[in-house]
């Protein structure tokens, strides 16, 4: 049977790993929220710029100004696309860190169960030894008590 003090050391490491893993999903969630906000801001800016372009187009604008607007909108669309990709990566990191936390928690619970089983086994062994000693003592009293009659 394993030494409970060695298992206690393993449990300390498992709890530390779980504790460390517990902080990561929240950090990734904050990063994903910030990415989502930036994406929303970029999309809102694009919408405002398109509205402005539409209004200017109705009132008339020269070809150069129109080309500049379109070039700017194209760059803005590229930035939105990159930000969307970044948001997907941030969300994937968040999910991965949540899965890691679940795995660390599962490992810690397994170690805790092993410790409990080991201690229960040691307790049963101790109880058997005590019962054996009681039985032997009782038998000796009975034998020595009977032979003296």
Query: What burial letters (b/e) apply to 68-98, b meaning 16+ CB within 10 Å?
Result: ebeeeeeebeeebeebeebbeebbebbeebb
User: Is residue 23 scored above 70 in pLDDT?
Assistant: yes
* Beta-carbon contacts of residue 15 (< 8 Å; ≥ 6 apart): 108
Among 8-12, 34-38, 77-81, 116-120, name the one with the lowest average pLDDT. 8-12
User: Is residue 66 scored above 90 in pLDDT?
Assistant: no
Alpha carbon distance 44, 27 (integer Å): 26
User: Is residue 2 scored above 70 in pLDDT?
Assistant: no
Instruction: Flag whether the pTM goes above 0.75.
Output: no
């Amino acid at each position: 049977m394993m030494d409970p003090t060695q298992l206690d050391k393993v449990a300390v490491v498992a709890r530390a790993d779980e504790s460390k893993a517990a902080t990561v999903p929240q950090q990734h969630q904050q990063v994903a929220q910030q990415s989502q906000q930036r994406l929303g801001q970029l999309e809102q800016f694009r919408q405002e710029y398109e509205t402005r372009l539409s209004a200017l187009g109705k009132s008339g604008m020269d070809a150069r100004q129109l080309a500049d607007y379109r070039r700017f909108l194209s760059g803005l669309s590229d930035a939105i696309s990159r930000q969307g990709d970044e948001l997907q990566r941030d969300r994937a990191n968040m999910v991965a860190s949540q899965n890691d936390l679940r795995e660390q928690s599962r490992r810690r619970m397994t170690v805790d169960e092993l410790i409990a089983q080991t201690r229960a086994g040691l307790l049963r062994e101790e109880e058997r030894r005590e019962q054996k000693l009681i039985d032997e003592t009782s038998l000796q009293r009975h034998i020595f008590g009977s032979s003296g009659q």
